[in-house]
Chain A
């Protein structure tokens, strides 16, 4: 079954730049997809449209049954509760502990305290940070901070996890740790993962599906793809 369906999507920014031209895609539930391409290829725009940070100028985007392009500003939270998002810059709250940062995602949607506690601890265990629950973000390494962000993204059991260059600030070793965590989440939870990246090594090692974008056009969509220099 398709979790995401993108039909004839075009995105033109107000400054006149077209980031995506006539994109058609279908992504199956449970898949792990890399979105690759150079800067300006439109991969960030694609991710942003999936969580409705940006609206497509034309076309239709369906995520888990929700018509994202038609979603009104007031209803965006309905989409966001179905997905988790991880960014390059972690976006943690510096004044909250690791536990509180993850629990924040549960609290603001009105979850009960005891359920929050169980889910937060489970998510932190999955990313391997159970022993750092009471630390503050600035006491953690970059890789650990990113793992907190991943825990926060999965704590609500989303169907979809969007990652926008999650390893962009990390050295290769830490990057592979993050990829291990993501792969585990994909396998054990069945969460669909879409990850934008320009890290060649990661893509080549992981052997997952690869969407290649160039200047806003879809170049190809391969099963077990690699980072193909000529295509990019």
Chain B
């Protein structure tokens, strides 16, 4: 009961103080707003990048072509060699015959051409389709497979995919840097705002001390004030996140540039992002005011 009474008082005082120092509060709130909008963009971008990367990696396969003259025993030997190779998740074998049937199914032209060839003169090769465990080591795994006897060609989606992923990840890093810098600036701004409220209430604080208010009672209103600034600062970013992402998703029909790069579906993604944004806002406000209280309220 007592705690609630004290908290009620603290919250009332904090709101009063936000209104009393309106211009400085507004400066802090706008700074938090700008920071959080960028934070929201960073969060949405990085989750999407992670999503693309995961999707692309799922599709990444090494295709192993065997020599045309490979016999049944050779195939068995390659199989056992693959079993011994590290970083291989699973593999599927497709014989010449199966490849041929699949190709015939895919196109009329292939169908007629392939019809003429018999088993012996077929240019097609037996293949293995290999999925790896760790995509980053795919190049080395491919090299290892190449060394196996009777393996002629090894192919995987080199080039384009790698470049795309590394471009995404450098974009991500830059965004993180900007976000951290902005968060620091915001924290300093909040420290200044709270410092002003503290100095405006110095007399009150000294009397509180004299009549036996605990440090907790004295500090809480300032910390709550910081949290209120953070909360108010996150209102616009939350609206931005929700409607901005919905519009963005609609505009691009759910994917970027090609069907390969799928965007995350807006629901529940926008809600979780909004919650993260609000939490970051409140935390930034709290950290700023807590350090102001520690620095300027020597009690």
User: Contacting chain A: which of B1-9, B83-91, B243-251?
Assistant: B1-9
With a cutoff of 8 Å between Cβ atoms, the chain A residues found around residue B299 in the complex are: 73
Contact A108 B203 (CB under 8 A): no
With A93-B204, A110-B217 given, is the CB distance from A105 to B211 under 8 Å?
A: yes
A93 interface neighbour in B6, B207, B209, Cβ under 8 Å: B207
> A96 — nearest CB in chain B belongs to which residue?
B204
> Is B212 at the interface (CB under 8 A from chain A)?
yes
Contact A93 B5 (CB under 8 A): no
Contact B5 A110 (CB under 8 A): yes
A112 interface neighbour in B5, B203, B212, Cβ under 8 Å: B5
Cα A173 to Cα B209 in complex, Å, equals 32
With A74-B215, A110-B217 given, is the CB distance from A80 to B6 under 8 Å?
A: no
Cα A156 to Cα B212 in complex, Å, equals 10
Most buried by B among A77, A91, A109: A77
With a cutoff of 8 Å between Cβ atoms, the chain A residues found around residue B215 in the complex are: 73-74, 77
Cα A51 to Cα B212 in complex, Å, equals 10
With a cutoff of 8 Å between Cβ atoms, the chain A residues found around residue B5 in the complex are: 110, 112
With a cutoff of 8 Å between Cβ atoms, the chain B residues found around residue A228 in the complex are: none
Cα A93 to Cα B205 in complex, Å, equals 11
Cα A91 to Cα B6 in complex, Å, equals 23
Question: Which chain B residues numbered 182 to 241 have a C-beta less than 8 Å away from chain A?
Answer: 203-204, 206-215, 217-218
Cα A152 to Cα B208 in complex, Å, equals 11
1/0 per residue A80-115: CB within 8 Å of B? 110001000001010000000000110111101000
> Is A140 at the interface (CB under 8 A from chain B)?
no
The smallest C-beta distance from A206 to any residue of chain B, in angstroms, reads: 25
Interface of chain B, main secondary structure: helix
1/0 per residue A103-130: CB within 8 Å of B? 0110111101000000000000000000
A: number of interface residues (CB 8 Å): 21
Contact A80 B210 (CB under 8 A): yes
Contact B211 A108 (CB under 8 A): yes
Contact B210 A109 (CB under 8 A): no
Contact B213 A85 (CB under 8 A): no
Cα A112 to Cα B4 in complex, Å, equals 11
Query: How many contacting A-B pairs (Cβ < 8 A)?
Result: 53
1/0 per residue A56-81: CB within 8 Å of B? 00000000000000000110111111
Contact B207 A156 (CB under 8 A): no
The smallest C-beta distance from B296 to any residue of chain A, in angstroms, reads: 15
Contact B6 A110 (CB under 8 A): yes
The smallest C-beta distance from B75 to any residue of chain A, in angstroms, reads: 78
Contact A104 B207 (CB under 8 A): yes
The smallest C-beta distance from B5 to any residue of chain A, in angstroms, reads: 6
With a cutoff of 8 Å between Cβ atoms, the chain A residues found around residue B3 in the complex are: 110
Cα A104 to Cα B205 in complex, Å, equals 11
The smallest C-beta distance from A142 to any residue of chain B, in angstroms, reads: 18
B209 interface neighbour in A76, A110, A112, A152, Cβ under 8 Å: A76
> A113 — nearest CB in chain B belongs to which residue?
B5
With a cutoff of 8 Å between Cβ atoms, the chain B residues found around residue A108 in the complex are: 9, 208, 211-213, 217-218
Most buried by A among B206, B213, B215, B218: B213
With a cutoff of 8 Å between Cβ atoms, the chain B residues found around residue A104 in the complex are: 207-208, 211
With a cutoff of 8 Å between Cβ atoms, the chain A residues found around residue B213 in the complex are: 77, 108-109
Contact B212 A107 (CB under 8 A): no
With a cutoff of 8 Å between Cβ atoms, the chain A residues found around residue B207 in the complex are: 91, 93, 104
With a cutoff of 8 Å between Cβ atoms, the chain A residues found around residue B208 in the complex are: 104, 108
Most buried by A among B3, B203, B207, B210: B210
The smallest C-beta distance from B217 to any residue of chain A, in angstroms, reads: 6
Cα A104 to Cα B212 in complex, Å, equals 11
With a cutoff of 8 Å between Cβ atoms, the chain A residues found around residue B217 in the complex are: 108-110
A77 interface neighbour in B2, B6, B206, B212, Cβ under 8 Å: B212
Most buried by A among B203, B209, B211, B218: B211
> B207 — nearest CB in chain A belongs to which residue?
A91
The smallest C-beta distance from B41 to any residue of chain A, in angstroms, reads: 43
With A110-B5, A110-B6 given, is the CB distance from A156 to B210 under 8 Å?
A: no
Interface pairs (26), CB distance under 8 Å: A51-B210, A73-B215, A74-B214, A74-B215, A76-B209, A77-B209, A77-B215, A80-B209, A80-B210, A80-B212, A91-B203, A91-B210, A93-B204, A93-B207, A104-B207, A104-B208, A105-B211, A108-B208, A108-B212, A108-B213, A108-B217, A109-B213, A110-B2, A152-B211, A156-B211, A156-B212
Known: A77-B212, A80-B211, A109-B214. 5 other contacts (CB 8 A): A51-B210, A85-B210, A91-B207, A107-B9, A109-B217
Chain A positions near chain B (C-beta within 8 angstroms): 51, 73-74, 76-81, 85, 91, 93, 104-105, 107-110, 112, 152, 156
